[in-house]
Amino acid sequence: MRVLLFGREGKVGAVLMTALGEAGHEVVGVEVGEPIEAAGFDAAVDFTAPAAVFGNATTALSAGVPCVIGTTGLDEASLAELDRLGRESQVACFVAPNFALGAILMMRFAAEAARSFPDAEIIELHASTKIDAPSGTAKATAERMGGDVPIHSVRLPGLVAHQEVILGGPGETLTIRHDTSSREAFAPGVLLALDRVRGLPPGLTVGLEALL
């Protein structure tokens, strides 16, 4: 596939430039301020920043190019607008708050555990360069656990992406933890999304679990 990658020089983008190329895709990377000609690409991938992702996705979708979005921090109104634009252009827009397989399982196990343990809290820990808080993964986890779950955000150098879900009952606690130790963890999920995005219905699809 010919893939347009927004955020070529970012921490995730740099890993994806290599991983997508090694998987046989022809990747053209774009950085801030560079001119974008989206027409002719088979798909666009965005790992940039909350302030940039909506504009990038709008450019791609308007040109009829399906999108795979990993950038977090998109608000509900922006997601609704991307859904509308995708339907209008008859292309899919896939958004996942987390592309790591272990994180998807963590969310599934947390939802299951919440049925037996109504008292729970989430601690999400990320690199100090992550702008948005709480993380998209923490919000998605809380939603799947029934909504009213307090989230604590930690931002420190040295961290990549980590989350702990702690559930408490009389005399016991259950901790479910996922650690991303390298950004290579996100590449298989992005490759899967690229493989599937053109088969998705026009408009918005959210979450890697929709593809598994």
Q: In the complex with ligand NAP, which residue's Cβ is closer, 41 or 186?
A: 186
Which residue has its beta carbon closest to ligand NAP? 10
Our answer to whether residue 178 is catalytic in this structure is: no
Looking at residues 40 to 99 of the shown chain, list those that interact with ligand NAP (rule: CB under 6 A).
47-49, 52, 56, 70-73, 96-99
CB of 115 to ligand NAP, least distance (A): 26
CB of 25 to ligand NAP, least distance (A): 18
CB hemisphere CA count around 194 (13 angstroms): 26
Our answer to whether residue 162 is catalytic in this structure is: no
* Residue 110 DSSP one-character state: H
Backbone angles phi, psi at 65, to 5 degrees: -105, 120
Query: Which residue type, as a one-letter code, is found at position 116?
Result: S
Instruction: Out of 3, 17, 20, 30, point to the residue binding ligand NAP (CB under 6 A).
Output: 30
Strands 172-180 and 161-169: antiparallel
Instruction: Out of 3, 6, 134, 159, point to the residue binding ligand NAP (CB under 6 A).
Output: 6
Chain-centre distance for alpha carbon 168: 28
In the numeric block, which tokens belong to residue 75? 């608000």
Contact residues for 101 (Cβ-Cβ < 8 A; gap 6+): 185, 188, 189, 208
At which residue do the structure tokens 């918005």 appear? Answer: 204
Q: Which residues bind ligand NAP (CB under 6 A)?
A: 6-7, 9-13, 30-32, 47-49, 52, 56, 70-73, 96-99, 129-130, 161, 186
Catalytic residues: 126, 130
